A and B are shown apart, each in its own frame.
Chain A
Amino acid sequence: MASKKYPRLKTYRLIDQLLALRIAYPKAQCKISKGVLYWNGVITPSPLSQTYEVNMKYKLMRRPCVTVRGENLKRIDDPNFPHKYNINKEKKLVEMCLYLSPDFTSQMLLADTVIPWAVEWLYHYEIWLATGEWCGGGKHPQLNKGVKNKAAS
Chain B
Amino acid sequence: MTDKEHALGGFLSKIADELNISPTMQEKAITSYDAVGKWIGDGLNYEVKIMPQGSMNLGTVVRPIDDSDDGYDMDLVCLLKNGQYLTLWQIKNLVGDRLKEHAIYKKKLDEEGKRCWTMNYDGFHMDILPAVPKNFTFTKPNFTAIKLTHKNDSGEYEERYSDPSQYHQWFKDCMKDILLIEKRAFAAKANTEIDKVPTYKMRTPLQKTIQLLKRHRDICFQNNDEDAPISIIITTLAASSYRGETDLYEALCNILDKMPEYIEYRNGVYWVENPVMREENFADKWNQKSSKKDAFYNWVAQARRDIIETPLECFGIDEIARQLGERLGNAPVNRAAKEMGNQARSTRQAGGLYVKGLTGGLSTTASVGSKVVKEHTFFGK
- Chain A positions near chain B (C-beta within 8 angstroms): 24-25, 27-28, 41-51, 72, 74, 82-85, 96-100, 103-104, 111-113, 115-117, 119-121, 123-124, 126-127, 129-131, 133-141, 143, 150-152
Contact = CB atoms under 8 A, between A and B. Distances in A.
Contacts of B315: 48-51, 72
A74 B377 CA distance: 23
A150 B380 CA distance: 10
A113 B372 CA distance: 9
Given A44-B358, A135-B342, A24 B369 contact: yes
Given A45-B361, A123-B361, A126-B317, A116 B378 contact: no
Nearest to B6: A47
A83 B379 contact: yes
Interface size grouping (class) on chain B: 35 or more
Interface in B352-381: 353, 355, 357-362, 369, 371-381
B187 interface: no
A84 B358 contact: no
B374 A135 contact: no
Contact of A42 (B353, B359, B376): B359
A135 B334 CA distance: 12
A48 B7 contact: yes
27 contacts: A25-B357, A28-B358, A46-B317, A50-B316, A72-B315, A83-B379, A97-B381, A98-B378, A98-B379, A99-B378, A116-B373, A117-B378, A119-B355, A119-B361, A123-B344, A127-B337, A127-B341, A130-B318, A130-B322, A131-B334, A131-B337, A131-B341, A135-B338, A136-B341, A137-B345, A141-B379, A141-B381
Given A47-B7, A135-B342, 7 more contacts: A24-B369, A43-B359, A44-B358, A44-B360, A103-B377, A119-B362, A139-B379
B174 to A, nearest CB: 30
B338 A47 contact: no
B67 to A, nearest CB: 15
A97 B377 CA distance: 9
B8 interface: yes
B378 A139 contact: yes
Nearest to B343: A135
A147 to B, nearest CB: 13
Given A28-B358, A84-B381, A137-B345, A100 B316 contact: no
Interface of B: 2-4, 6-8, 11, 315-322, 333-334, 337-338, 340-342, 344-345, 348-349, 353, 355, 357-362, 369, 371-381
Given A99-B378, A127-B338, A120 B317 contact: no
A48 B323 CA distance: 13
A133 to B, nearest CB: 6
A48 B8 contact: yes
Nearest to B314: A48
Which of B321, B334, B357, B377 gathers most chain A CB within 10 Å? B377
A112 B374 contact: yes
B379 A99 contact: yes
B337 to A, nearest CB: 5
Given A24-B371, A48-B11, A74-B318, A124 B341 contact: yes
Given A124-B341, A127-B317, A135-B342, A49 B374 contact: no
B378 A123 contact: no
A138 to B, nearest CB: 3
A120 B374 CA distance: 11
With most chain B CB atoms within 10 A of its CB, the pick from A28, A49, A50 is A49
B309 to A, nearest CB: 14
A139 B381 CA distance: 8
Contact of B4 (A47, A83, A116): A47
Between B316, B355, B376, B379, the greatest number of chain A beta carbons within 10 A of the residue's beta carbon is seen for B379
A103 B334 contact: no
Contacts of B2: 47
Contacts of A134: 341, 378
B348 to A, nearest CB: 7
B323 to A, nearest CB: 11
Contacts of B318: 74, 126-127, 129-130
B338 A138 contact: no
Contacts of A49: 315-317, 361
